[in-house]
Amino acid sequence: MCCDTVNRGLSYADGKLFLNQADATLVALDAKTGKVVWQATNGDPKKGETGTSAPLIVKDKVLVGISGGEFGVPCRLTAYNVSDGKLAWKAYSSGPDNQILVDPQKTTELGKPVGADSSLKTWQGDQWKIGGGCTWGWISYDPQLNLVYYGSGNPSTWNPKQRPGDNKWSMTIWARDADTGMAKWVYQMTPHDEWDFDGVNEMILADVDVGGTTHKALVHFDRNGFAYTLDRTNGALLVAEKYDPKVNWATKVDMDKNSKTYGRPLVVSQYSTEQNGEDHNSKGVCPAALGSKDEQPAAYSPVTKLFYVPTNHVCMDYEPFKVSYVAGQPYVGATLSMYPPPGEKNMGNFIAWDAGKGKIVWSVPEQFSVWSGALATAGGVVFYGTLEGYLKAVDAKTGKELYKFKTPSGIIGNVTTYEHRGKQYVAILSGVGGWAGIGLAAGLTDPQAGLGAVGGYAGLRDYTSLGGQLTVFALPGN
């Protein structure tokens, strides 16, 4: 599995707990007894298909993605009936129109129909069959529009020379009908990805004011370092700006609707990993493949109208090499080295973001990447965790630190709050791991191991240790 042995949680509905197992089996358990009610085979682990994402319940269906982009998996989102586990629909990220569930005339990108064979035209030969675009992240749902939103990941292999074209629809935000799976609109953020800038990060649904007009928006902080604000009703691109000032692989996203490159990132050739048709060791690319933010979820406060984002502040050297596909074996084709931006020591920031203007409101530097999820509360306090193991509370308006507590291990989980018998609690599970913590978690020392993360986070060993502990805090005064 890549990267580390991870699971992102359970879902509950109709007296059942839904577990997406590592072997890609979706299991429904009786919540009272633990007895298996039904199970569905969602993938073949012998081919590198695994289950790391949390299922989402939408009406009478349970939706679940698939992992394995680093193994050349043909990725998809699948819906099963909550009652009996029977397949309701399956939508792939690449392939023929009937396989990716798009209507050539009704499915749009940036307001225009995608047209026939929109995916097939952007792959060479049958490369799309092992093209990745996995769906290991989160799924959001708008009950009024009856649309589900999610992102597809990096194309396989990491060597872009071996897969000419835009590689649609990897690296894409999808909006699909929850009942049928048919795509209403799509938006590809990083065509022909050359840096493993996965596109699976969470889609936050909120009302956002852009230029004086309030939109039913979707806000997405992508690995590629750009934060996107789209109208979730039709996929219109409203804002696309860098949320880390060190992002350098592209100058901007073209926002000129009359331009041929409208909606595309304008790539800086110096940081391309393919030069003159050949593999190129590109140095100083920001962000690293970890992204300016990986899977650690951001949070939105309807009180401040701001988004709170745990970020990576990491750059890399990226050298692709030719790799052959063998089912069930890694299909990566790149060597990475990671490090802080030149002249800086901190590898993370915790920021407040204005999604209507595309601006950082405040930023708190952290020694290592902020790898936990964020929690925004109505009381004007925002919580997050650090890789060294601190749970921190900051002022939602200013970022001023209000409180911190050292937990036994690094925090890569999501801070949560709940109420019990009239009292509010905040809880965090600490236990270092994931991509940034894989060196410590797996006992690796080779700087190139963990796809370059071991060397980049070697110093983490001096600040925390392995573990897994739930720490719960009772808030005073209630």
Catalytic residue among 97, 196, 198, 244: 196
Can you say how many angstroms the Cα of residue 32 is from the centroid of all Cα atoms in its chain? 32
Q: What is the DSSP string of 53-97?
A: SPPEEETTEEEE--B-GGGT-B-EEEEEETTT--EEEEEESSSSH
Distance CA 426, CA 117 (A): 49
Distance CA 152, CA 135 (A): 5
Rounded to whole angstroms, the maximal C-alpha distance in the chain is 66
Contact yes or no for 92/354 (Cβ under 8 A)? no
Contact yes or no for 427/471 (Cβ under 8 A)? yes
Among 85, 94, 50, smallest CA distance to 68 is for 50
CA torsion sign for 293, 296, 301, 302 is: positive
Whole-Å CA distances, 112 to 148, 166, 213, 262, 329:
20, 17, 22, 12, 39
Strand arrangement of the beta sheet that strand 315-320 belongs to? 282-285, 315-320, 334-339
- Please give the structure tokens belonging to residue 45: 């682990």
Does 196 participate in catalysis according to the annotation?
yes
**Which segments within 222-373 are labelled E, that is strand?**
226-231, 237-242, 250-253, 265-267, 274-275, 278-279, 282-285, 299-301, 306-312, 315-320, 334-339, 348-354, 359-366
- Give 39: exposed, middle or buried? Use CB within 10 Å, 0-12, 13-18, 19+: middle
Contact yes or no for 91/147 (Cβ under 8 A)? no
Distance CA 254, CA 406 (A): 43
Contact yes or no for 312/288 (Cβ under 8 A)? yes
Contact yes or no for 298/309 (Cβ under 8 A)? yes
The 10 Å Cβ neighbour count of residue 279 is 18
Whole-Å CA distances, 48 to 18, 69, 73, 162, 455:
22, 8, 7, 20, 26
Catalytic residues: 196
